[in-house]
């Protein structure tokens, strides 16, 4: 018994049934009329559309069609549920997001095959709910739980397969946590599991890869090397035979230089060469093969940053030592206007926004030979050893707010602090004349660290070339940052001072606009493990336990009744048009 009172639409539709019947009854009701004789009412030919002599209420076929259509709509309005076999357990799908899934054989990639399999599974045995987890370098849950294939397909559009790695094990762990050990886990990848014997009854592993030969560029870098840039290209042959490929290298708009690269099975070759630093970009391309993503790299010029340093030391010896050391780092800018670092002896801070290094040498008469306490986690202490060093310093205690970097007991030898507006104040407690530090390798390291730290705090990109999936750091100012990805997608970051870690979800040239300045960095698909397709396989490992296979699930059947009603009305229309309905 359908509870019609709970379905207002059904009530309305049901009310139309007696209305329809009344219409037909009234329409078919015969007005009684006495006639002189039936003589004139005997017809030789009965009319098709009328005149049929009947002795009872005759309802045409159209009436029954309309009645049936109305009843179907009534039932549809009650939202009938259909018990259909469905998977009893929710499904969590782990999608291999690495770019090896893009390897295409006969134009069909493993990603496409996996997608088709998932669609087929979903249509054949739809689970009550489905969640997607992307197994990239890190597992990432892809949107909320969905129930229909349409929703799922929308989510699958985010499955790009551009990751340089596939953390499938981590993704399975995450899936197990999300599914609370109740969900079925489906892994869609292109390689077999590390342990082919899967013990879990909740896990099915499906691989859709094919073992294919592949040439790839697995490493590429471009670094500053004096006045030139040094480039490195590493090419690997991931096949079981000797193969030869053609490498084309193009710098800027120059014509590409091609060369043949012949490599043995699973052999790689590194190519190191220099190019002028003025060359805008370097593009290296291999012959096309089944995995196109790793056949090309683009390297932009490395970022060369210098620090404008102003030395305000009154002690000429100290000043000369400082200048000499700064020049040796190669990180000092040629000009000193608007300094970014001021080296001075006075206790007062500079009024500008520059960092300051206060060199406290007077009164530093105590020589310390160690042991020195070095904060190795601090960027200023990176590479500092201080072995056998005699450090002459003034006996003092650490000032409140100062962060000691190097200590001799409780005496701060080198410390730093940050003031309210973000400026760094470094304090060097050293009398070089009584110390051996300037004569040790730690001395230029110390200044290199100072300048490098200053550089790292300058706004802008820190690198111009990155591997796919790696984060590119950006030091921001109080300006909006707009990142344009290779596919044209834009990311906007509000005005926040600090550092942004930009994701690199796909290879190509990224453009970063910050204020009036725009910089670019290049991301290349460099991952030897993903380029090696020799281990790809097709097959199924593991199977969900039988008790989880099916159960009867109530599914809306409104569309069935709607379709039936539509078919009836179409038939009705046909009968009316051809005057066969008997009305």
Question: Considering only residues 45, 194, 421, 501, which one is a binding residue for other proteins as defined by CB under 8 A?
Answer: 45
CB of residue 583 vs other proteins: minimum separation in angstroms? 10
199 binds other proteins (CB under 8 A): no
Residue nearer to other proteins on the CB measure, 52 or 567: 52
27 binds other proteins (CB under 8 A): yes
Question: Considering only residues 52, 108, 320, 552, which one is a binding residue for other proteins as defined by CB under 8 A?
Answer: 52
Q: Residues 71 to 90: which contact other proteins by CB under 8 A?
A: none
> How many residues bind other proteins, per CB under 8 A?
26
| β-pairing verdict for 411-418 and 424-429 | antiparallel
Q: Please, what is the Cα angle at 416 between 414 and 417, to 5 degrees? A: 155
What single-letter DSSP state applies at residue 273? E
CB of residue 551 vs other proteins: minimum separation in angstroms? 56
- Residue 121, SS3? helix
CB of residue 60 vs other proteins: minimum separation in angstroms? 11
- Residue 193, SS3? coil
Check if the beta carbon of residue 466 is closer than 8 Å to that of residue 521: yes
**Which among 45-53, 168-176, 466-474, 515-523 is the span making contact with other proteins, rule CB under 8 A?**
45-53
580 binds other proteins (CB under 8 A): no
What distance in Å separates the CA atoms of residue 492 and residue 135, rounded to the nearest whole number? 26
CB of residue 23 vs other proteins: minimum separation in angstroms? 13
* Greatest Cα pair distance in the chain: 147
Residue nearer to other proteins on the CB measure, 54 or 334: 54
* Residue closest to 149 by CA, chosen among 184, 118, 179: 118
Residue nearer to other proteins on the CB measure, 562 or 582: 582
51 binds other proteins (CB under 8 A): yes
What single-letter DSSP state applies at residue 181? T
| Burial label, 107 (beta-carbon count in 10 A; 0-12, 13-18, 19+) | exposed
Question: Considering only residues 1, 5, 42, 546, which one is a binding residue for other proteins as defined by CB under 8 A?
Answer: 42
Residue nearer to other proteins on the CB measure, 50 or 488: 50
| β-pairing verdict for 139-146 and 130-135 | antiparallel
3-state secondary structure 205-252: EEEECCCCCEEEEEEEEEEEECCEEEEEEEEEEECCCCEEEEEEEEEC
Check if the beta carbon of residue 514 is closer than 8 Å to that of residue 460: yes
CB of residue 32 vs other proteins: minimum separation in angstroms? 5
Residue nearer to other proteins on the CB measure, 60 or 85: 60
**Contacts with other proteins, 165-184, as mask; x by CB under 8 A:** --------------------
**Which among 23-31, 252-260, 377-385, 489-497 is the span making contact with other proteins, rule CB under 8 A?**
23-31
What single-letter DSSP state applies at residue 259? E
Residue nearer to other proteins on the CB measure, 41 or 492: 41
Residue nearer to other proteins on the CB measure, 48 or 304: 48
What distance in Å separates the CA atoms of residue 462 and residue 471, rounded to the nearest whole number? 11
CB of residue 62 vs other proteins: minimum separation in angstroms? 14
- Extended beta strands in 394-471, E state: 403-408, 411-418, 424-429, 460-461, 465-467
CB of residue 57 vs other proteins: minimum separation in angstroms? 9
32 binds other proteins (CB under 8 A): yes
Residue nearer to other proteins on the CB measure, 52 or 335: 52
30 binds other proteins (CB under 8 A): yes
What distance in Å separates the CA atoms of residue 146 and residue 143, rounded to the nearest whole number? 8
- Residue 316, SS3? helix
Question: Considering only residues 1, 3, 5, 39, which one is a binding residue for other proteins as defined by CB under 8 A?
Answer: 39
What distance in Å separates the CA atoms of residue 49 and residue 284, rounded to the nearest whole number? 84
- Residues near other proteins (CB under 8 A): 27-43, 45, 47, 49-55
């Amino acid at each position: 018994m359908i509870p019609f009172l709970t379905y207002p639409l059904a009530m309305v539709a049901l009310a139309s049934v007696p209305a329809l019947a009344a219409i037909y009854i009234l329409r078919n009701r015969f007005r009684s009329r006495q006639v002189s004789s039936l003589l004139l009412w005997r017809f030789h030919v009965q009319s098709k559309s009328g005149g049929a002599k009947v002795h009872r209420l005759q309802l045409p076929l159209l009436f029954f069609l309309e009645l049936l259509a109305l009843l179907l709509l009534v039932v549809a309005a009650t939202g009938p549920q259909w018990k259909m076999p469905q998977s009893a357990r929710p499904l969590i799908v782990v999608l291999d997001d690495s770019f090896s899934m893009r390897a295409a054989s006969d134009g069909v990639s493993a990603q496409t095959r996996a997608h088709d399999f998932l669609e087929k599974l979903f249509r054949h045995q739809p689970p009550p709910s489905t969640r997607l987890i992307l197994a990239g370098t890190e597992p990432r849950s892809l949107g909320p739980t969905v129930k229909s294939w349409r929703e799922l397909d929308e989510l699958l559009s985010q499955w790009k397969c551009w990751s340089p790695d596939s953390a499938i094990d981590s993704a399975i762990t995450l899936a197990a946590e999300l599914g609370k050990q109740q969900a079925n886990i489906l892994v869609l990848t292109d390689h077999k599991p590390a342990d082919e014997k899967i013990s879990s009854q909740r896990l099915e592993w499906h691989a859709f890869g094919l073992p294919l030969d592949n040439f790839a560029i697995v490493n590429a870098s471009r670094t500053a090397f004096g006045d030139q840039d040094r480039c490195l290209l590493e090419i690997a042959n991931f096949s079981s035979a000797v193969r030869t490929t053609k490498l084309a290298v193009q710098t800027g708009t120059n014509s590409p230089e091609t060369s043949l690269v012949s490599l043995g099975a699973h052999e790689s070759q590194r190519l190191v060469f220099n190019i002028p630093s003025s060359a805008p970009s370097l593009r290296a391309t291999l012959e096309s093969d089944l995995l196109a993503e790793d056949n090309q790299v683009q390297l932009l010029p490395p970022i060369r940053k210098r620090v404008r340093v102003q030395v305000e030391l009154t002690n000429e010896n100290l000043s000369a030592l400082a200048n000499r050391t700064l020049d040796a780092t190669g990180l000092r800018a040629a000009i000193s206007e608007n300094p970014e670092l001021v080296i001075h002896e006075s206790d007062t801070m500079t009024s500008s926004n520059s960092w300051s290094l206060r060199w406290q040498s007077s009164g530093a008469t105590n020589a310390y030979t160690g042991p020195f306490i070095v904060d190795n986690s601090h960027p200023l202490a990176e590479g500092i050893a201080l072995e056998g060093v005699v450090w002459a310093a003034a006996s003092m205690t650490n000032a409140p707010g100062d962060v000691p970097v190097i200590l001799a007991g409780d005496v701060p030898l080198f410390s730093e602090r940050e003031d309210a507006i973000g400026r760094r104040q470094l304090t060097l407690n050293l009398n070089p004349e009584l110390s051996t530090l300037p004569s040790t390798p730690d001395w230029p390291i110390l200044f290199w660290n100072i300048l490098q730290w200053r550089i790292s705090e300058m706004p802008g990109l820190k690198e111009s070339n990155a591997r796919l999936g790696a984060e590119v750091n950006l030091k921001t100012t109080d300006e909006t940052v707009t990142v344009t990805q290779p596919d044209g997608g834009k990311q906007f970051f509000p005005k926040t001072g600090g550092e942004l870690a930009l994701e690199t979800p796909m290879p190509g040239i990224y453009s970063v606009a910050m204020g009036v300045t725009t910089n670019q960095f290049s991301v290349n698909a460099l991952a030897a493990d993903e380029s090696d397709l020799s281990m790809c396989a097709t097959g199924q490992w593991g199977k969900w336990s039988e008790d989880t296979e099916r159960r009867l699930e109530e599914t809306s059947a409104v569309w069935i009744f709607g379709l039936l009603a539509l078919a009836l009305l179409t038939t009705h229309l046909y009968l009316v048009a051809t005057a066969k309905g008997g009305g």
